[in-house]
Structure 1
């Protein structure tokens, strides 16, 4: 698991920045955010925010070869629309 550290001399700004980064990471389907902790900075009164980030790996067996794509064409009628039936053909003698 990877770790991010956000530091600022203003503890409020460090926390707001960390919150924005956390929201952005959580919106992504590629990572999971783990523990988030705020540690006061002893030197200048600021803060350090640590967060764990786990990269979600795609299983090797799944690969990208299993994707299904659907394309709708404008020159063909959409499925589900009713069509008029064709007139019945007459059978000729000797035809199957």
Structure 2
């Protein structure tokens, strides 16, 4: 059986340069995009404008901006895990 592809089910921009995300596996958190935006690149240049950064949306579960810059959900989750920004859901305890 194939492993389902990780997607983002909910996203919103927060000030300054943060993304509040919920993943399809139930994990969630707030990603600080500041370090990513500090790296120079053609795709990230427009995102340094806060109003433009706030235009993030989802395209098939992938965070995407109007200039077609996107972030892999798997990369985003791994980065958030490394930084301690990822929250895993608590297991549900079933009565015995």
| Structure holding more helix per residue | 2
Q: TM-score range by the shorter chain?
A: under 0.3
TM-score by length of 1: 0.20
TM-score normalised over the length of structure 2: 0.20
Q: Max radius of gyration: which structure?
A: 1
